[in-house]
Amino acid sequence: MIDKTELEIKAIKAARRNLAETLTELGLMAPFHDRSAEEIDRIIKSCIDGFQDAMRRKTLNDDIPF
């Protein structure tokens, strides 16, 4: 695991609001209501890491177009 930069830490914290809004819209907020900030951040980090890994695989698996 690579340590997050200060900017990344702040961005993850800021993303909590978006996650809460989406969970509320989907009617899924109740199970997350009593979770700690660290647990919520873990969910956000997992999503970010999965997205970044998928993007890297896509880039590395493409043929070079020239």
Q: pLDDT tens per residue, the chain (66 residues)? A: 578 899 999 999 999 999 999 999 999 999 999 999 999 999 999 999 888 888 888 766 556 555
Which ranges of the chain does DSSP label H, i.e. alpha helix? Answer: 6-25, 37-61
Distances 31 to 4, 11, 24 between C-alpha atoms, Å: 27, 23, 11
Q: Determine the pLDDT at residue 55.
A: 84
pLDDT of residue 44: 96
Cα–Cα distance measured from residue 17 to residue 53, given in angstroms and rounded to the nearest whole number: 24
